[in-house]
Amino acid sequence: MKKKLFITGIILVTGLMLASCGQKATTEEKAKEETTMSFDTTGYTSGTIVQSKAEGDCEWTIKLKDGRFLDPMAIDKDFMKDGATVWIKFLPQRRMQRCDKASPVAISEIKLRE
C-alpha cells in the first residue's frame, strides 16, 4: 500500500513539474508579445531629424513630410542624430524664430520610428 502511494506521489510531482515548465514558456512569450506590440500613431506626425552647420541656421530641426521644418525649443540628446526618423507630437510656439526656415515648436512627445 505504501509503495503504491509513493509511486502515485512521484508521478503527481513529476506531472506538476512538467506542466509548470510549459506554463513558464507561455508566460515569457506573452510578455515578449506585449513589449513588441505596434504603437498607436494617432495624433503623431512623422518627421526626420536634420542637422545643419550653416551659419545663421538652426542646428537641429525636424523636417516633416510636407517639406516644412520645425525648430524644437528643447530636444533630448538621444534624438540628436542626423537622419533619424521620429514620431512627434508638438505645439506651435508664439515666439520669434531663431532661423528663417523653421517654425518654433514645443515637443510634447517624441519616439523613434522603426
* CATH number for the domain that contains residue 53: 2.40.50.500
**Same domain for 106 and 54:** yes
List the domain range (segments joined by +) for residue 56: 45-112
Tally of domains in the chain: 2
**Same domain for 49 and 31:** no
**Same domain for 103 and 71:** yes
Q: What is the pLDDT of residue 66?
A: 92
Q: Smallest Cα–Cα separation from 43: which of 110, 103, 101?
A: 110
Greater confidence, 64 or 113?
64
**Same domain for 84 and 51:** yes
What is the average per-residue pLDDT within 37-63?
87
**Same domain for 102 and 50:** yes
**Same domain for 50 and 32:** no
Output the pTM of the full model: 0.63
Q: Are 110 and 86 in contact (CB under 8 A)?
A: yes
- Tens of pLDDT, residue by residue over 16-49, are 777 766 555 556 666 555 544 466 778 899 999 9
Q: What is the pLDDT of residue 28?
A: 63
- Tens of pLDDT, residue by residue over 69-93, are 999 999 899 999 999 999 999 999 9
- pLDDT of 52 higher than 70: yes
User: In the chain, how many H helices and how many E strands?
Assistant: 1, 5
Residue 20 CB neighbour total at 10 angstroms: 9
**Same domain for 64 and 29:** no
Q: What is the pLDDT of residue 27?
A: 63
What is the average per-residue pLDDT within 44-72?
92
**Same domain for 88 and 62:** yes
